[in-house]
Amino acid sequence: MPKINICAGQCGETVDASAECEDGRYVKFSIGKCCEHVEKLKPFLESEPIDAFTELRNFESSLIYEKAGKCLPHVTCPVPSGFLKLIELASGMAVASDVSIKIES
């Protein structure tokens, strides 16, 4: 079961989540520590398995991005992208590899 820890940035919030997928398609989330905004996404993410094929097709079909747009205060929040990476890992569509954004000023 893959797990992620997302450090969201200047807000100082972190999100811990894991996911499992038994059939290579439908992914079930478990979200631990998170901020009050991501807390609003939890019922959607944890209630029913998410179809990885639909979710990873394109931005327009992503329910995670759609729901995040209604819950998260900043479009630059990396949490939705992290959740999509978790879907890739759990469904076997990607191998585990860290991602990062380095800020230089």
pLDDT digits (tens, 9 = 90+) for 53-99: 999 999 999 999 999 999 999 999 999 999 999 999 999 998 888 88
3-state helix, strand, coil in the chain (%, to 5): 35, 20, 45
pLDDT of residue 101: 84
Asked if residue 105 has pLDDT above 90, the reply is no
Strand, coil or helix: 26: strand
Mean pLDDT of 18-41: 95
pLDDT of residue 66: 95
The pTM for the full model equals: 0.93
Parse the chain into domains and list their residue ranges.
3-91
Tell me the DSSP string of 79-92.
HHHHHHHHHHHHHT
d(CA 21, CA 2): 10
Q: Which amino acid is at 43?
A: P
